[in-house]
C-alpha cells in the first residue's frame, strides 16, 4: 500500500499523473474579506468583532460575479486547473452548506457560488479544486489559532468559554462531505492548514481521508492536514502533493530517499491572497513566467493566485498578467506541459525543462555570441526556436575547440542581436 492507496483507488503516482502533466493552475481567494479589501486575514489581524464582520455578510452581493469570465481568463492563460476558497479562516462559506447559516445563500448574493464556479470551470475543461480552511474563526467550537485566537474570544468572559472541539470536527467533516458529494467529480481538495499540535489526528485526519477517498477516489489532497509526505511510508493523510507557499524550494521537493515527489508552489501576484485595494505591488509577467519555468525545472507546479474584488471581478492588473502569460504559453506551452526537470545542470544563461528526449532551453541571458550547451556535443539532433519553429544552427564556432572549458559542449546560434522573446526565449 503506497500513501494510503488501496488497489481500487490507485496509487499516488496514478492519481497525480494529470497534475504533473498540467503544471499550471489558478488559485482564487474570494470571500467577505474582499469587501474591506485589506487581505483575507483581516478579521484575525484586526481583531474585528463578529458584529462588524457581519456587516460585510449583510452587503455581500457578488453582483459582478461571473465565473465564466474567470474560467475563460484561466483558459487563455494556459491554466489547466483551479482552486477556489470555498471557506477561508473567517468561516464564511461560498457554498450552500446545510450545516451553517454563514453562507453565500443567506447574503444578498442569494445563491451557491461554488456551484457556478464548478460549472464554469468544468465547461472550459479546467480541472476543479476546492480550498477549505480547517481553521474557523466563526464556529463556536473552534479554539482559535495561536495568539491569533478566535476573534470572538478576545474578551475575558468569552476566553474561557468551554468548547466542544468534536462538534467542530463533525461540522468540518460534514462540510467536506457536502463539498465532495454535491458538485460531481472534484479534482483537488486543498486543506489549509495545520499548526503547532493542531495537526494530523487532531483533525481526525485518517477518518477524514477515508471518507474523502470513498466519495472521490481519484481526488488529489494537499499536505496541510499534517503528517510527513516526505517519509518512506507517509501517513494516510499526508497528502498527494507538497505545498510550499510564496517560495520555490531551491532543490524541488524530494522524499527521504531522494526521489522527487509532486509539489505545487502557491504564489500571489501582488502581496496579498485576498483582494487588497491598495496593494499594487504586482509581479511582472516576466517574473511570473520565469517562476513557473523554475517550478517545472524542479519538477513542481505553479498555482498562481488571484484575489477578485468584492463584486467578483478580477483586477485589471491581474487580467493583464494572465493575458500576457497566455500569449507566451500559446507559443511556448510545449516547454511547460508534461515537462519536468532535466538531469543536466542549470545552464548559466537560463534554465532547462525536459520532456522525454526533448530538451527545452529557456534562455534569459542572450550574451552576444552563440549559446553554449555543456555536455551536449554530438547529442543535439536538431534545434528549433519553439515560438515559430525556426531552425537554429548547431555548430562549433571557429577556434572554440581551443577554449579550455568547452570540451564536450555544443553551441547554438540565435540570429539577431536581441532575444526574440524578452519574457523567455525557448
Point out which residues bind ligand JFZ (CB under 6 A).
Answer: 40-41, 192-193, 245, 266, 273
Question: Long-range pairs for 201-204 at CB < 8 Å and ≥24 separation?
Answer: 202/226, 203/134, 203/169, 203/172, 203/237, 204/169, 204/173
CB of 342 to ligand JFZ, least distance (A): 29
Q: Of 139 and 362, which CB lies nearer to ligand JFZ in the complex structure?
A: 139
Q: For ligand JFZ, give the closer residue by CB, 40 or 424.
A: 40
**Residue nearer to ligand JFZ on the CB measure, 87 or 290:** 87
Nearer to ligand JFZ, 41 or 282 (CB): 41
Taking the complex as a whole, how short is the minimal distance between the CB of residue 38 and ligand JFZ, in angstroms? 13
DSSP letter string, 396-422: --TTGGGSTT-TT-EEEEPSSSS-S-S
Please say which residue, 30 or 352, places its beta carbon nearer to ligand JFZ. 30
Segment (H or E) for 350: strand 350-355
- DSSP secondary structure letters along 60-126: ---TT--HHHHHHHHHHHT--EEEEEEE-TT--BSS--TT-S-BGGGSTT-S-HHHHHHHHHHHTT-
CA dist 200 to 8, 130, 187, 327, Å? 24, 20, 22, 42
Q: Which is nearer to ligand JFZ, 266 or 423 (CB)?
A: 266
Q: At closest approach, how far in Å is the CB of 41 from ligand JFZ?
A: 6
Of 238 and 410, which CB lies nearer to ligand JFZ in the complex structure? 238
To ligand JFZ, the closest distance from the beta carbon of 370 in angstroms equals: 43
Minimal distance, residue 271 CB to ligand JFZ, in Å: 12
Exposed, middle or buried by CB within 10 Å (0-12, 13-18, 19+), for 257?
Answer: exposed
Q: Which lies closer to ligand JFZ via its Cβ, residue 198 or residue 400?
A: 198
Q: How far is the CB of 70 from ligand JFZ (least distance, A)?
A: 17
Q: How many helices (H) and strands (E) does the chain have?
A: 11, 15
Contacts by 352-355 with C-beta closer than 8 Å and gap 24+?
Answer: 352/297, 353/293, 353/296, 353/297
Map grid coordinates 470551470 to a residue.
121
Distant-in-sequence, close-in-space partners of 257: CB < 8 Å, separation ≥ 6: 232
Q: Judge residue 246's burial from the number of C-beta atoms within 10 Å of its C-beta, 0-12 exposed, 13-18 middle, 19 or more buried.
A: exposed
* Residue 132, beta-bridge partner list: 87, 191
Q: How far is the CB of 170 from ligand JFZ (least distance, A)?
A: 23
Min dist CB 274 to ligand JFZ, Å, is 7
CB of residue 82 vs ligand JFZ: minimum separation in angstroms? Answer: 14
Nearer to ligand JFZ, 244 or 340 (CB): 244
Amino acid at each position: 500500500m503506497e500513501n494510503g492507496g488501496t488497489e481500487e483507488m490507485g496509487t499516488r503516482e496514478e492519481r497525480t499523473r494529470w497534475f504533473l502533466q498540467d503544471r499550471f493552475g489558478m488559485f482564487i481567494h474570494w470571500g467577505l474579506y474582499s469587501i474591506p479589501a485589506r487581505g483575507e486575514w483581516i478579521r484575525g489581524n484586526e481583531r474585528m468583532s463578529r458584529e462588524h464582520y457581519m456587516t460585510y455578510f449583510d452587503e455581500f452581493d457578488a453582483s459582478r460575479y461571473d465565473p465564466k469570465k474567470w474560467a475563460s481568463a484561466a483558459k487563455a492563460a494556459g491554466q489547466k486547473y483551479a482552486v477556489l476558497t470555498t471557506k477561508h479562516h473567517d468561516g464564511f462559506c461560498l457554498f450552500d452548506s446545510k450545516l451553517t447559516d454563514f453562507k453565500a445563500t443567506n447574503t444578498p448574493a442569494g445563491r451557491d457560488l461554488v456551484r457556478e464556479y464548478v460549472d464554469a470551470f468544468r465547461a472550459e475543461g479546467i480541472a476543479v479544486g476546492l480550498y477549505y480552511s480547517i481553521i474557523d474563526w466563526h464556529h463556536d467550537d473552534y479554539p482559535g489559532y495561536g495568539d491569533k485566537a478566535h476573534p470572538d474570544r478576545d474578551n475575558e468572559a468569552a476566553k474561557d468559554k468551554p468548547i466542544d472541539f468534536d462538534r467542530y470536527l463533525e461540522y468540518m467533516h460534514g462540510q467536506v462531505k457536502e463539498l465532495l458529494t454535491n458538485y460531481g467529480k472534484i479534482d483537488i481538495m486543498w486543506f489549509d492548514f495545520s499548526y503547532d499540535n493542531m495537526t494530523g489526528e487532531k483533525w481526525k485526519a485518517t477518518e477524514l481521508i477515508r471518507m474523502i477517498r470513498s466519495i472521490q477516489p481519484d481526488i488529489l489532497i494537499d499536505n496541510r492536514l499534517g503528517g510527513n509526505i516526505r517519509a518512506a511510508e507517509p501517513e494516510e493523510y499526508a497528502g498527494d502533493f507538497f505545498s510550499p507557499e510564496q517560495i520555490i524550494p531551491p532543490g524541488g521537493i524530494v522524499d527521504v530517499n531522494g526521489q522527487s515527489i509532486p509539489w505545487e508552489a502557491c504564489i500571489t501576484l501582488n502581496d496579498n491572497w485576498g483582494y487588497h485595494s491598495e496593494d499594487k505591488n504586482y509581479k511582472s509577467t516576466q517574473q511570473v513566467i520565469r517562476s513557473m519555468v523554475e517550478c517545472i525545472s524542479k519538477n513542481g507546479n505553479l498555482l498562481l493566485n488571484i484575489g477578485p474584488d468584492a463584486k467578483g471581478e478580477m483586477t485589471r492588473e491581474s487580467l493583464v498578467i494572465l493575458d500576457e502569460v497566455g500569449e507566451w504559453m500559446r507559443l511556448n506551452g510545449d516547454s511547460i506541459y508534461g515537462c519536468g526537470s532535466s538531469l543536466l545542470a542549470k545552464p548559466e544563461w537560463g534554465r532547462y525543462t525536459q520532456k522525454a528526449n526533448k530538451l527545452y532551453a529557456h534562455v534569459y541571458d542572450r550574451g552576444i555570441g552563440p549559446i553554449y550547451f555543456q555536455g551536449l556535443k554530438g547529442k543535439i539532433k536538431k534545434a528549433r526556436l519553439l515560438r515559430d519553429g525556426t531552425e537554429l544552427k548547431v555548430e562549433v564556432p571557429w577556434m572554440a575547440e581551443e577554449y579550455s572549458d568547452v570540451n564536450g559542449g555544443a553551441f547554438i546560434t540565435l540570429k539577431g542581436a536581441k532575444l526574440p522573446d524578452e519574457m523567455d526565449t525557448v
